[in-house]
Amino acid sequence: MATINDVAKLAGVSPTTAKRALNEPHKLQPHTLEKVQWAIRELDYEPDLTAGALRRGRNMTVGLLVADIVEPFFAELAREVSVRLRSSNYGLLLADNEYQSEIELHNLRHLAGQRVSALIMRPSYGPGNREYLLKMQDKGTYIIEIDHHMPDSPFDFLMLDHEQSVRAGLEHLWSLGHTRIAGLGTYDAELYPEWRAHHFDHIMREHGHPVLSAYREIIRYNEQDAYEFTRYLLNLPERPTALFAFNGTEAIGAYRAIQDAGLRIAEDVSLLAFDNLPWTHMVSPGIDVIEQPIKQMGELLVQQVLKNIDGPRTPMQLLLPGKLIVRGSCGMASAES
C-alpha cells in the first residue's frame, strides 16, 4: 500500500508537496504537479482515511442514527443522505436506537469513538443522552436532530411540521363530517412524547371534539400494537368513524385489523395515515396519506451538515410541511351510530 511518502519519494518532492497536488493543485508549479500526479498514478496511491482521522480529530463520515432502518421513512432518508454525500467524499456510518436510549448510548459511543464529523439523529425518548451529545458537540461534532425534537433540546433540527400535518389531516376528516376520530396512540410526556399524538389531542379539543377517553391508550407505533388497538376500537359500542395512523407501520396494522373485522374502508370506517408508502396506492380504495418531503429533507440535511463540518455554525431549526394525498380511504361519516 503506497503512502504519500512513497509518492513523494518517487516524484522527488516532499510529502507536503505531494499532498498539495491533491488538495491545492493550483499552488504547485505545473511541472511539479505533473511529476506528482504521475507518481500517484504509478503507485495507485489512495489516502489512508484513518490516519487523517487521527490527525484531524474527525473522520470522513457522517453518522446517521435512525430509530429503525426498516421503517421506510428512515430507509428512504438514508438513501437520500447517502446519495448526496457521494459527491463530497464523506461516507455514512449507520446506527439505530429502536427508540431506546440505552441502545442509543451504545451506538453513540461508537460513533464518537470513530470521530464522525457530524451526526444526524432521531432522538430516543427522554433526556437520557443529552449530556453525552453535548460533549460530542463540544468536541466539534455537528449534531442535528430529525423527525423528533424536544423544545428544550439544544440541537439543530429538521423535521416534519407535525402540527400543520395533523391539522391538515383533521380538516380533511372534518370536511367529511367525522367527529368521532381515534388516533392510534396517545401522547404521554414521560412514556411516549410523540408530537403527532400530542397535536392530535390538542387540535381535536380546540375544535370542540375532545377525543373520547375510551379512544385514549398509550401504544407503540408498530404494526402489532396498532392492529390490536384498532381491533379494540372497532369493537367499542361508540366506535370511531375514522382512524388516524401516526406512521406508515401503524397504518399496516390498522388496515389489517379493519379487514379482519369484516369492515369496509371508507364506507364503514375511514383511514388516514402518515407516510406515503407504496402499498397505500395499491389497495383499493387507496389510502389517504400525509406525505413527508423526504428528498428535500435529505438535500437540506447534507447541505447543512457539510456546511457546518468546517466553517462556522449556521443554525437550522426547520419544520417542513407535510402534503395530504387523497385517494379514497376516507368517506363521509355515516349517520349510523
Partner DNA sequence: TTGTATGCGTTATCAC
Partner DNA sequence: GTGATAACGCATACAA
Positions that interact with a second copy (CB under 8 A)? 1, 46-51, 53-54, 59-61, 68-70, 72, 75-76, 78-79, 82-83, 86, 89, 91-96, 103, 106-107, 109-115, 139, 223, 252, 255-256, 259, 277-279, 281-284
19 sits near DNA (criterion: CB under 7 A): yes
Between 80 and 145, CB nearer to a second copy: 80
- At 123, list the grid cell: 432522538
- At 210, list the grid cell: 375532545
Selected from 48, 238, 260, 267, the binder of DNA by CB under 7 A is 48
How near is the Cβ of 242 to a second copy at its closest, in Å?
19
Q: Can you tell me the distance from the alpha carbon of 78 to that of 224, in angstroms, rounded to the nearest whole number?
A: 25
The H or E element that residue 182 is part of is: strand 181-183
Between 2 and 316, CB nearer to a second copy: 2
Quickly count: other Cβ atoms within 10 Å of residue 193's Cβ: 14
Selected from 42, 43, 44, 47, the binder of DNA by CB under 7 A is 47
Cα–Cα distances in angstroms (integers) from residue 121 to residues 1, 68, 333, in the given order = 35, 11, 40
Selected from 34, 51, 134, 267, the binder of DNA by CB under 7 A is 51
How near is the Cβ of 121 to DNA at its closest, in Å?
24
β-strands 181-183, 270-274 pairing: unpaired
Selected from 34, 41, 42, 52, the binder of DNA by CB under 7 A is 52
Instruction: Please choose which of a second copy, DNA, none residue 179 contacts, taking the beta carbon within 5 to 8 angstroms, the exact cut-off set by kind.
Output: none
Between 284 and 317, CB nearer to a second copy: 284
Number of H helices, E strands in the chain: 12, 11
Q: Are 71 and 292 in contact (CB under 8 A)?
A: no
Q: Can you tell me the distance from the alpha carbon of 238 to that of 94, in angstroms, rounded to the nearest whole number?
A: 45
Q: Quick check: bond before 285 cis, omega within 30?
A: yes
- Specify the 3-state DSSP secondary structure of 102: helix
How near is the Cβ of 23 to DNA at its closest, in Å?
7
Instruction: Please choose which of DNA, a second copy, none residue 106 contacts, taking the beta carbon within 5 to 8 angstroms, the exact cut-off set by kind.
Output: a second copy
Q: Are 252 and 226 in contact (CB under 8 A)?
A: yes
Instruction: Please choose which of DNA, a second copy, none residue 31 contacts, taking the beta carbon within 5 to 8 angstroms, the exact cut-off set by kind.
Output: DNA
Between 60 and 121, CB nearer to DNA: 60
95 sits near DNA (criterion: CB under 7 A): no
State the DSSP code for 13. S
DSSP string covering 218-275, please? ---SSHHHHHHHHHHHHTSTT--SEEEESSHHHHHHHHHHHHHTTPPBTTTBEEEEES
How near is the Cβ of 166 to a second copy at its closest, in Å?
24
- Region of 5-13, 147-155, 248-256, 298-306 interacting with DNA (CB under 7 A): 5-13
5 sits near DNA (criterion: CB under 7 A): yes
300 φ, ψ (degrees, to nearest 5): -65, -40
285 sits near DNA (criterion: CB under 7 A): no
Q: Which residues bind DNA (CB under 7 A)?
A: 1, 3-5, 12-17, 19-20, 27-29, 31-33, 47-48, 51-52, 54-57
